[in-house]
Amino acid sequence: MLVETCLRNEALIPILKKIGYSSFLIEGGGAVATIGRITLTAEKYPHGEIDKAFSRGHLVFFRPNSRDSLIKVINDERVCCIVLDNTNLHLYKRPLVRLMVRKGKFVEVWLRSSSHEVVRRAIELGNRGLKTVFSSCPSKISEVWSPISKLNYLLILGASSPLALTWIYSFPLELYRNASANY
């Protein structure tokens, strides 16, 4: 069972099913009976917005812009996953990464908006034991990544094949199962 953890356009579901994905997390929730997610971005930690999203039954993903908000999000159990991209790569220092590993937080990398350097850094973090998830987060057809391409892309950037498979197959599934258990 292959899970795409970020989908911005519900119309892409048939295409993703053709490629081999079987479950999806749709940004903002959708009409289709799948689990919705909400990605929040803020300098200051948005307790209210997180409460609102959590009460609506969405999975909360947070993209921190400052060190304080990253520390808060690591310790907040309502937020299931932290988004890593070009803008907040510098926040991921060793002590915080260790804390994230201990807390079992997932880190999501958006392939469509991340440079090769970010993906390479995410691979390093994954090698240290962080639960890394790679998602294409597509809003149109040309932004979709097939699982084989994802795997080979990670291999080219220096990941080992067992770990790359874990990041593409196992961790998204774990995230999805945790979310399903919450419903």
Size of the site for other proteins (CB under 8 A): 20
Give the residue among 27, 89, 13 at the shortest CA–CA distance from 61. Answer: 27
Stretch that binds other proteins, among 21-29, 74-82, 87-95, 151-159 (CB under 8 A): 151-159
Give me the phi and psi of 63, to 5 degrees please.
-110, 100
When binding is defined by CB under 8 A, the residue of 1, 11, 15, 32 that contacts other proteins is 15
Q: Which residues within the stretch 69-98 sit at the binding site for other proteins (CB under 8 A)?
A: none
Which residue has tokens 């890394």? Answer: 132
Q: Is 52 left (phi over 0), alpha (psi -120 to 50) or beta?
A: alpha
Residue 105, phi then psi, degrees to nearest 5:
-75, 145
Q: Return d(Cα 162, Cα 42) in angstroms, integer.
A: 35
List binders of other proteins among 109-148 (CB under 8 A).
111, 116, 136, 140-146, 148
Amino acid at site 127: N
C-beta of 19 vs 42, nearer to other proteins: 19
Residues in region 19-78 near other proteins by CB under 8 A: 19
Judged by CB, which is closer to other proteins: 24, or 62? 24
Residues in contact with other proteins by the rule CB under 8 A: 15, 18-19, 111, 116, 136, 140-146, 148-150, 152-153, 155-156
